[in-house]
Structure 1
Amino acid sequence: MRTLKITYWISTALVALMMIFSGYSYLTNETIKQAFHHLGFPDYFRIELAIAKIIGAVILLIPIKGKLKEWAYAGFAITFVSAFIAHTASGDPINNRIGPVVFLIVLFLSYFTNQKRQADIS
């Protein structure tokens, strides 16, 4: 049980910190703004995605049960898959494509350990 809890918190913290950092960067970093234009996304999407990432990260970190946390996991999964597709379609180098895949794996680890923890608690 202890290993499960540690694995859950490390993986969840990694995803949440990355999402908070990227959300903040989306709002403040001019290079990120240019990257969104390179990928063909409008500026308002960058702002919406930044806000959604920050809210989703907070939801992952707070101790709540129910569907809200499930929606945060689903939203991040869609975000990571979409990022991989966007970078691939734009012809970006492999190092730009691999990051979303790595974080998708970490997200799955967080999700499945969370499910196991909830089942053990019930």
Structure 2
Amino acid sequence: MKTANFTYWATTLILAAMMTVVAIAYLVQPSMAQMFHHLGFPDYFRVELAVAKLLGVAALVFPVGARLKEWAYAGFGITFISAIIAHSSVGDPLSYRAVPFVALALLVTSYLTLHQRNHHADDGRVMMA
């Protein structure tokens, strides 16, 4: 149980930090605006995605209802898979696809250990994340 709890928090906090940094970069770095243009997305999508990532981080880190947390996991999963596809479709190098792959691996690990720690608590109670 301790391992699942540690793994959950480690992967979740690393992912949350990554997404927070990326969301802020989307809003303040001109190079990110250029990247979205390069991928063929409108500028407003960059702002929407930044806000959605910050809301998703809050849902993953803070104690919220299970349904909201599930939506955050789903939203991040769709975002990471979409990023891999978008960068692949314009011929970006593998290094551009590596970050979403790493984020997806962290997300899956966080999700699986969340359920492991919630359903296999040592004292039989369901833990709230």
User: Could you tell me the TM-score, scaled by structure 1's length?
Assistant: 0.97
Which residue number in structure 2 is paired with residue 56 of structure 1? 56
Q: Which runs of 5+ in 1 are unaligned?
A: none
Which residue number in structure 2 is paired with residue 42 of structure 1? 42
Which residue number in structure 1 is paired with residue 71 of structure 2? 71
Q: Could you say which structure has the larger radius of gyration?
A: 2
Q: Displacement, 1:98?
A: 1.5
Q: 2:9 and 2:44 mapped to 1: Cα distance?
A: 32
Which residue number in structure 1 is paired with residue 4 of structure 2? 4
Q: Displacement, 1:102?
A: 1.3
**Matched residue type, 1:29:** Q
Which residue number in structure 2 is paired with residue 88 of structure 1? 88
Which residue number in structure 2 is paired with residue 110 of structure 1? 110
Q: Displacement, 1:65?
A: 3.5
The number of residues matched between the two structures is 122
- The percentage of counterpart residues that share the same residue type is 49
Q: 2:113 and 2:66 mapped to 1: Cα distance?
A: 15
| Structure 1 residues 30-69: Cα deviation after superposition (integer angstroms, max 9, x where no partner) | 0000000000000000000000000100110002242000
User: Could you tell me the TM-score, scaled by structure 2's length?
Assistant: 0.92
Q: 1:66 and 1:72 mapped to 2: Cα distance?
A: 10
Q: Which runs of 5+ in 2 are unaligned?
A: none
- Aligned CA-pair RMSD: 0.8
Runs of 4+ off more than 3 Å = none
Q: 2:65 and 2:38 mapped to 1: Cα distance?
A: 39
Which residue number in structure 2 is paired with residue 16 of structure 1? 16
